[in-house]
Structure 1
Amino acid sequence: MRQWPSLLTVLLFLSPLIAGDVAEKPYNESEERYSSSTVGLLKLLELEMEFIKNLKSYTDLLSAKANTLQDFIDSVDRGTEKSLTEREKYVSNPLNAFGLMRRTHQDWPKWHNYINNTVGRDQLQSLDDILTKAPDSQDMKEALVGMQRIERTYGLQACDLAKGRLQDRQYDTQLSIRDCLALGQHKFQEGDYFRASLWYRMALKHEPEPNAETFNEILGDPLKDLKLNYAKATIIDGLIEELSPGNQSQKIQQVVDVTEEELHKSRAAELDGFVTYLLDQPDDDLAREMAEPALSSYEIGCRGLYPRRTNLVCRYNFTTTPFLRLAPLKMEEVNHDPYIVMYHEVLSENEIEEMKRRSSEMSNGWADMKEENSTKLRDIVCRHCFWSEQSAVRERINRRISDMTGFDFPLTENLQVANYGLGTHFKPHYDYTSDGYETPDVLTLGDRLGTIIFYASDVPQGGATVFPRSRVSILPRKGSSVFWFNLYDDGRPDTRSQHSVCPVIVGDRWTLTKWLHIVPQMFVMPCKPREKS
């Protein structure tokens, strides 16, 4: 049980969270989300670069205008004639008097028009156009969920993330105070009060940023109500631990409902003392207090904690097809039962570049089927497309798949290209028909007998393909592929083929996927009934 200072009895007054000021717009599932792929995030980065380019051009024009006005001021500034006598002497000279009369009659209106003339109209119009392409609130929410997924899946701490430390690697980038605040607000709204308190804490401990005072006038002061929200999240988390479920809701609502005005009427000074007490606690001690729930097999795999397999070998495969006798493939055994293997150096740089060139029209990939009349928002797994254009490269890759698997299928068949984004993942699922999901072409081609995934990029951290039931985890390696069976030889589903994609921490995950159906293999791979393991 946590021991808080006596302020616990006072902190039922705290202000509600700061509401967002961005208007919601109707959510269109088919609309591209920047956060769902690195392709989208690159577009967003380019959009920001365009925004800054126009802003620089606009400020240059403003600066030129300000310099012109300053030149005019310097030319007529009468700062030397300060006394009445000096001013009388000045206007008593007919040259000065006439110049004064002419300037005020002829020049003033023109300078007034110059001042009122808006400079940089084209740049302002461009900025307006760029603003319409900015991420909407749903995209922002998905980015927050992605960050939350990375944090939870890998057990990362706010104190490390905020300072640019991801697992055991330190990066030369840090989250801003507003980044920390946004993550804290999201976790509070999600009911994760302990993590919310940790993110509020990092916002409070953040070093003052350059030009903070000026920026706060435009963007709002991130410190406003921050102490209140930090204390609120901390106390609510304590209430959840200490109160019975029947009393939690009422007490929590009391904390949320009390206003800032009520705080200032009571003991605001005690709040400062309480927050100071909390900030004095070491970050590591607070992180250790977080009772992490029992890890799922999927999370264990994402963290690379499955036990190592033994009796596995790497060898050259030259027996699957006659062609491999001339050009054997490097094959690595990953698991014997169920059978999972990797092939290395089977996708070249040129083929990867061709694949990316053919994937310009990507769409959202979903974790779930669309339910009729459902308003529930589905998780976006990635951005993907089917490589359907006629291409000698695609046919060559399909021929290679046939050599690796021994399976028969038209070499002109499509391949799926996928690119993952900020914290996106694919939850544990099956590739065969199951759980209300029917595989495409199942009536003509049968169910998906096997799956092969090519990795078209390296992923320095995260992004593993995990088989939770088989306790196998495979890290992406550029140019390699992984192959497994989804069905037994007699066509029955093998539940051990359940697999998932872990969130990428750092890297750009590109994959090329091919599903191999059972009907075309009728004479290639005869049915061999066997009992399930």
Structure 2
Amino acid sequence: MTFLGICLLFTYLFCQWLVQAEFFTSIGQMTDLIYKERDLVQFLKVYIKEEEERLGKIKSWASQIEDLTSKSALDPEGFLAHPVNAYKLVKRLNTGWLSLESLVLQDATKGTKYVASLSVDDCFGMGKIAYHESDYYHTVLWMQEALKLLDEGERSTTISKVDVLDYLSYTVFQLGDIQRAVELTKRLLLLDSSHERAGTNLRYFEKMLERERNEEKVNKTSDAKPNKTLYEIYTRPQDYLPERETYEALCRGEGVRMTPKKQKRLFCRYHDGNRNPILILSPIKEEDEWDSPRIVRYLEVLSNEEIEKIKELAKPKLARATVRDPKTGVLTTANYRVSKSAWLEEYDDPVIAQVNKRMQAITGLTADTAELLQVANYGMGGQYEPHFDFSRKEEPDVFKRLGTGNRVATFLNYMSDVEAGGATVFPDFGAAIWPRKGTAVFWYNLFRSGEGDYRTRHAACPVLVGSKWVSNKWFHERGQEFLRPCGLTEVD
């Protein structure tokens, strides 16, 4: 019950007590009831006014959401393709509607404001999430953005520059940039000289920086190779990916090592799968994407009707994507793979059997020992960080349960275009393959000798705008003995 409601109730009960106490027997005493009733009316008018204001806010909220949903419902996937729209939807469902509930149940509360871009609070919140996940790399990016917005004059009622600098200075230290950690901590102390933790951190950072400089001097005057600093030995994050800078540059469309000389070695042609009956009358269009390791793209592999059918079959089965545990071979989730996936059997629909046969004809490999068709959907920020499709020597049991040997090749179908992001990149040699709906790319993960080709370590870049749909078939070693004969050397 609201505060005004309680006041009305108490006043009403008081009046009831007066009446029941036989005040009506004296006109003089009953005049008090007149004044009490007058007070009740005033309370009621104030209550009505506040309720009208509250209802006005609720109506305004409803109107905003109605306008938004009327537009988003016309093209849900297109609307959610924009990462800010998707983020705001999740935020509304988690906090916005709770605020509305408070507005309905309580006297009053502040309305939710919507902006077209992320606020200081949004960026700081994302940075804190990354920090608590020990993802220091992205913590720095979000905190830098929050600090930039504050420097540009954006205001926040809950977040200050001191808060941001506190996280940012310690995080850059965690990433090994001690000099910058010192600079940021000094800036923090200029804003708040009494910040106890910052003062302690600064003394520690300066001590570590001095030690690092002394080690550099020793290494310069000796022939010995530079030793790792104590910081690197004890505190460097274990999940740090050495190729991250290359990986993210490729995702931005930078750093692709496609030289004119290499470009001349790439061709396009019609491919009939060595006169495979399925392709003789209708050969597939084949384009070279990379020469070594060889990556090819096939055009018009899937029709729009097939794509829609595959998506329709997969949607009810979509679940958080999994990876195989290198020690046990059991499928499990991992924070470096953000997507949803489903596995489709041939008996699910004739289209699946048809697509499987087509991939078998194109590659010249048997699909009898291949894994089921995997369908994956990457939404806002969906990605799969650098990984190998094949199992390495230190992971002998990954595919043991399947009994079909290692993954010899990958056939990847692109079932949608992506407005921004979503490329398949190979950090080792600097290739970036961009999604094109209806096409597919293919590469071998193993040399003919059966040894893994470590150059094929690849990643699915984060989807920035759009929704990425792919399906893939992993072909295994067993059954390919005469279709792809073994080579004579380790790198054949």
Q: Under a length normalisation based on structure 2, what TM-score does the superposition of the two structures give?
A: 0.56
Whole-angstrom CA distance in 2 between matches of 1:499 and 1:236: 31
CA 1:182 to 1:343, structure 2 compared with 1: closer, same or farther past 3 Å?
Answer: same
> CA offset at residue 235 of structure 1?
7.1
User: In the alignment, does 2:291 pair up with 1:307?
Assistant: no
Whole-angstrom CA distance in 1 between matches of 2:476 and 2:169: 56
CA 1:387 to 1:188, structure 2 compared with 1: closer, same or farther past 3 Å?
Answer: closer
**Partner deviation per Cα, 1:308-330 (whole Å, 9 max, x = no partner):** 23221111112431321101111
Secondary structure of 2:297's partner? strand
Paired residue for 2:125? 182
Paired residue for 1:386? 343
**Aligned match of 1:330 in 281, 285, 288?**
285
> CA offset at residue 202 of structure 1?
0.5
Whole-angstrom CA distance in 2 between matches of 1:252 and 1:368: 42
Paired residue for 1:202? 149
CA contact (8 A) 1:184 1:200 kept: no
Secondary structure of 2:380's partner? coil
Whole-angstrom CA distance in 1 between matches of 2:123 and 2:450: 51
CA 1:404 to 1:185, structure 2 compared with 1: closer, same or farther past 3 Å?
Answer: same
**Partner deviation per Cα, 1:317-375 (whole Å, 9 max, x = no partner):** 12431321101111101123322111011111111111111122222224562879xx9
**Partner deviation per Cα, 1:127-161 (whole Å, 9 max, x = no partner):** xxxxxxxxxxxxxxxxxxx99xxxxxxxxxxxxxx
CA 1:404 to 1:173, structure 2 compared with 1: closer, same or farther past 3 Å?
Answer: farther
Q: Under a length normalisation based on structure 1, what TM-score does the superposition of the two structures give?
A: 0.52
User: In the alignment, does 2:304 pair up with 1:361?
Assistant: no
CA contact (8 A) 1:367 1:381 kept: no
> CA offset at residue 298 of structure 1?
2.6
Whole-angstrom CA distance in 2 between matches of 1:438 and 1:465: 27
**Aligned match of 2:361 in 373, 394, 403?**
403
User: In the alignment, does 2:264 pair up with 1:317?
Assistant: no
Whole-angstrom CA distance in 2 between matches of 1:446 and 1:499: 21
Unaligned runs of 5+ in 2: 9-26, 59-82, 85-114, 196-241
Paired residue for 1:164? none
**Partner deviation per Cα, 1:194-252 (whole Å, 9 max, x = no partner):** 642442230453557xxxxxxxxxxxxx334513335656777999999789x979x96
CA contact (8 A) 2:322 2:333 kept: no
Whole-angstrom CA distance in 2 between matches of 1:380 and 1:410: 27
Whole-angstrom CA distance in 2 between matches of 1:378 and 1:525: 35
CA contact (8 A) 2:273 2:362 kept: no
Paired residue for 2:373? 415
Letter in 2 for 1:409: A
Whole-angstrom CA distance in 2 between matches of 1:426 and 1:239: 27
Whole-angstrom CA distance in 1 between matches of 2:177 and 2:456: 42
CA contact (8 A) 1:395 1:412 kept: no
Letter in 1 for 2:403: T
CA contact (8 A) 2:381 2:462 kept: yes
Whole-angstrom CA distance in 2 between matches of 1:235 and 1:495: 36
CA 1:235 to 1:476, structure 2 compared with 1: closer, same or farther past 3 Å?
Answer: closer
Letter in 1 for 2:248: E
CA 1:410 to 1:206, structure 2 compared with 1: closer, same or farther past 3 Å?
Answer: farther
CA contact (8 A) 1:183 1:199 kept: no
Paired residue for 2:390? 432
CA contact (8 A) 1:452 1:514 kept: yes
CA contact (8 A) 1:450 1:483 kept: yes
> CA offset at residue 414 of structure 1?
2.1
Higher relative contact order (CA 8 A, sep 6+): 1
CA contact (8 A) 1:426 1:501 kept: yes
Deviation larger for 477-486 or 516-525:
516-525
Letter in 2 for 1:199: A
CA contact (8 A) 1:462 1:506 kept: yes
Secondary structure of 1:358's partner? helix
Paired residue for 1:267? none
Whole-angstrom CA distance in 2 between matches of 1:238 and 1:295: 16
CA contact (8 A) 1:366 1:378 kept: no
Secondary structure of 1:520's partner? coil
> CA offset at residue 410 of structure 1?
3.8
CA contact (8 A) 1:466 1:500 kept: yes
Paired residue for 1:489? 448
Whole-angstrom CA distance in 2 between matches of 1:510 and 1:437: 31
> CA offset at residue 459 of structure 1?
1.3
**Partner deviation per Cα, 1:350-404 (whole Å, 9 max, x = no partner):** 11111111122222224562879xx997434321111125210101100110121
**Partner deviation per Cα, 1:438-497 (whole Å, 9 max, x = no partner):** 443666322111110001111122211112223322011111100111112232222222
Secondary structure of 1:521's partner? coil
CA 1:297 to 1:367, structure 2 compared with 1: closer, same or farther past 3 Å?
Answer: farther
CA 1:239 to 1:346, structure 2 compared with 1: closer, same or farther past 3 Å?
Answer: closer
Whole-angstrom CA distance in 1 between matches of 2:364 and 2:423: 26
**Partner deviation per Cα, 1:88-136 (whole Å, 9 max, x = no partner):** xxx9xxxxx9xx89x99xx99x99xx99xxx99xx9xxxxxxxxxxxxx
Whole-angstrom CA distance in 2 between matches of 1:469 and 1:235: 32
Letter in 1 for 2:311: K
The count of residues paired between Structure 1 and Structure 2 equals: 343
Letter in 2 for 1:323: I
Alignment of 1:168-317 (within 5 A): 173-185=116-128, 195=141, 196-203=143-150, 205=152, 222-230=156-164, 232=166, 262=194, 296-304=245-253, 305-308=255-258, 309-310=262-263, 311-317=265-271
Whole-angstrom CA distance in 2 between matches of 1:339 and 1:424: 27
Paired residue for 1:458? 417
CA contact (8 A) 2:370 2:474 kept: no
Whole-angstrom CA distance in 1 between matches of 2:371 and 2:178: 60
Letter in 1 for 2:252: R
CA contact (8 A) 2:326 2:395 kept: no
> CA offset at residue 500 of structure 1?
1.7
CA 1:175 to 1:198, structure 2 compared with 1: closer, same or farther past 3 Å?
Answer: closer
CA 1:411 to 1:353, structure 2 compared with 1: closer, same or farther past 3 Å?
Answer: farther
